[in-house]
Amino acid sequence: MSRKLLGKVMMILGAITMAINVMFFKSGEYYDVVRGASFVMFILGIILVPTYSKSQKD
Mean pLDDT of the chain: 82
Q: Are 48 and 6 in contact (CB under 8 A)?
A: yes
Q: What is the pLDDT of residue 16?
A: 92
What is d(CA 57, CA 34) in angstroms, rounded to the nearest whole number? 47
* One-letter amino acid of 13: L
Q: What is the DSSP letter of 37?
A: H
* pLDDT digits 0-9 by tens, 26-54: 777 888 888 888 999 989 888 888 766 56
φ, ψ for residue 45, nearest 5 deg: -60, -40
pTM of the model: 0.71
Average pLDDT over residues 18-22: 86
